[in-house]
Amino acid sequence: MEKEKQQKTEVQKEQNQEIEDYGQVTLEEGEHRLRLLNIIGEIEGHECLASNAKTTKYEHVIPQLAALEGSPSEEGLLVLINTVGGDVESGLAIAEMIASLSKPTVSLVLGGSHSIGGPLAVSADYSFIVPTGTMIVHPVRSTGMFIGVMQSYRNMEKTQDRITKFIASHSNITQDRLLELMLDSSQLVKDVGTMLEGEQAVKEGMIDEVGGIKEAFAKLHSLIDKEKEKQEKNLMT
């Protein structure tokens, strides 16, 4: 009895450390074994951000996603998102990894999923946003000095095209409509773009449904069950 209690305490400590270090944890309770991924603050890329900033480090997330794909015991992924955006290349890399997983995935936007958070939100098989959640879409920006303005502009245009194509291919919004929202100058102060609240994000086709953690878990369990049924049918044929 004492040994079992000690083992549970050690498992809890490991989970707490995993959450603290990587914003991730494996949920073993319930009908399925799930991986929980928390994407918060700013997406940190090739350069380290200030030590007092809340960040999601892509070098932590990508190996964990690869481990999930290779794990026979973990059956699905739930992504919780509350991000202001960040490094475009790193954000797209994480989004592509989530989208390419063979296991069922569900995302839930809590608070906000701004800028490069858009591709992250739509990368899952099914997406939710809470009623008060927001998504800001705006053109790609860059800081620093430009050498060769026209060439730099073309590169930024190509990067923006990659983002809009990814969002359009993983959601129900068209690329043309997304560009319209990005270039809207009537909504944001000192900026170009659009803020979409919960219902608006669903209406525009970026997000599948308004809901919370209960709905997200229910959908993920449902997707896992459907995947299992599909695999069983394939084995029988």
User: Tell me: the pLDDT tens digits for 151-196?
Assistant: 665 777 788 889 999 999 999 999 999 989 988 877 775 667 889 9
Query: What is residue 20's three-state secondary structure?
Result: helix
Query: How many CB atoms within 10 Å of residue 213?
Result: 13
Quote the pLDDT of residue 25: 72
Return the SS3 of 30. coil
Is residue 46 among the annotated active site residues? no
pLDDT digits (tens, 9 = 90+) for 6-62: 555 554 555 545 555 555 677 775 778 999 999 998 887 777 766 767 778 888 899
Quote the pLDDT of residue 4. 57
Q: Which amino acid is it at 149?
A: V
- Annotated catalytic residue: which of 115, 123, 127, 171? 115
Segments making up each domain of the chain, as ranges: 2-236
73 or 26: which leads in pLDDT? 73
Better-scored residue on pLDDT, 69 or 157: 69
The pLDDT value recorded for residue 145 is 46
Once rounded to an integer, what is the mean pLDDT over residues 63-75? 92
Q: Residue 12 and residue 10: Cα distance in Å, rounded?
A: 5
As a whole number of angstroms, the distance between CA 86 and CA 209 comes to 25
Q: Give me the chain's average pLDDT, please.
A: 83
Partners of 13 in beta bridges: none
Which residues, 6 or more positions from 138, have their beta carbon under 8 angstroms from its beta carbon?
Answer: 115, 182, 188, 191, 192, 193, 194
The number of beta carbons lying within 10 Å of the beta carbon of residue 84 is 18
Closest CA to 173 of 154, 149, 201, 152: 201
Please count the other Cβ atoms lying within 10 Å of the Cβ belonging to residue 111.
17
Selected catalytic residue, list 32, 114, 138, 221:
138
Told to judge if 221 belongs to the known catalytic residues of this protein, a careful annotator would answer: no
d(CA 77, CA 73): 12
Mean pLDDT along residues 137-160 = 65
Segment 218-222 shows an average pLDDT of 94
**CATH code for residues 2-236:** 3.90.226.10
Runs of H (alpha helix) within 37-82? 58-70
